[in-house]
């Protein structure tokens, strides 16, 4: 195994925003005893960050115990709604075919790098039959309180330990829909395929530094070609000084 492909989930592979908002509202009430009045936009941020902002804008002074309690409540509320995901959500155009096609590329390991907590990420993928294409155990998730760039490196380490391979900037690609995803890849030194299926426009993804920008995942051949070119040995040799 010599290529690591990490996928963002929300608005890259699936859109289950209706169920997610309901789960957040239930978790907020369970933890604070008050109804959720003001929502916050995810914008590529992890659940751990969203929780603190949601508490703040709704007038709750956060304490050390708020985050673990909220994430536990969020997992319970979302899990209780998991059977509604496929009915009330949608798989993004081309997502399954793109995952299948990339999985056939020589030496590929696939996982996810997402702001969603691990249990909810698993539900989102399983609802649309996408979990079979990724190793969820080596991904990076929203309950891990790291900047996303650091979380990418954590996922590289997990994949490396599992496969006995060094995954670094020369052989890692992140695929995501937000400028924050692009920034994380740039900071971590990984390659980036921006997909303009979320809230970031193609120009914003380009400006943030994406190596390749696609309108969506509907052309799986383009996705595979981009992954292959960004993780080729020749490209790796050219990106870093000899001996790195």
Per-10-residue mean pLDDT of the chain, 244 residues long, equals 96 97 96 93 85 93 90 98 98 98 97 97 98 98 91 97 95 97 97 96 97 98 98 57 30
Residue 44, pLDDT score:
78
Degrees, nearest 5: CA angle 230-231-232: 100
- How many CB atoms lie under 10 A from the CB of residue 199? 14
Q: What is the pLDDT of residue 241?
A: 33
Name which of 107, 142, 108, 105 is nearest 122 in CA terms.
142
Buried b (16+ CB within 10 A) or exposed e, 74-90: bbebbeebbeebeeebe
The beta-strand segments (E) located in 16-165 are: 90-91, 108-112
Output the CA–CA distances (angstroms, integers) from residue 195 to 179, 204, 209, in the order listed: 10, 11, 13
- Position 244 scores a pLDDT of 28
Q: Which pTM was predicted? A: 0.92
Q: Would you state the pLDDT for residue 2?
A: 93
Count of other CB atoms within 10 angstroms of residue 244: 10
pLDDT at 223: 98
CB 128 within 8 A of CB 94: no
């Amino acid at each position: 195994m010599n290529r690591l492909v990490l996928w963002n989930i929300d608005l890259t592979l699936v859109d289950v925003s209706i169920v997610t908002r309901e789960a957040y509202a239930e978790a907020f009430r369970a933890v604070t005893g008050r109804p959720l009045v003001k929502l916050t936009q995810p914008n590529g941020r992890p659940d751990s960050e969203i929780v603190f902002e949601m508490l703040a804008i709704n007038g709750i002074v956060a304490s050390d115990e708020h985050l673990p309690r909220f994430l536990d409540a969020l997992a319970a509320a979302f899990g209780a709604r998991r059977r509604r995901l496929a009915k009330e959500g949608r798989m993004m155009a081309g997502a399954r075919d793109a995952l299948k096609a990339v999985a056939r590329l020589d030496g590929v390991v696939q996982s996810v790098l997402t702001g969603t907590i691990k249990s909810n990420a698993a539900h989102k993928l399983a609802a649309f039959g996408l979990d079979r294409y990724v190793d969820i155990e080596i991904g990076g998730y929203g309950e891990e309180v790291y900047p996303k760039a650091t979380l990418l490196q954590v996922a590289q380490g997990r994949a490396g330990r599992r496969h006995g391979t060094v995954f670094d900037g020369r052989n890692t690609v992140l695929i995501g829909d937000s400028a924050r995803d692009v920034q994380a890849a740039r900071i971590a030194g990984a390659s980036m395929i921006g997909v303009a299926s979320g809230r970031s426009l193609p120009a914003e993804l380009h400006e943030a530094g994406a190596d390749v920008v696609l309108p969506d995942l509907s052309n799986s051949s383009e996705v595979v070609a981009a992954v292959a070119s960004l993780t080729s040995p020749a490209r790796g040799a050219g990106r870093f000084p000899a001996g790195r």
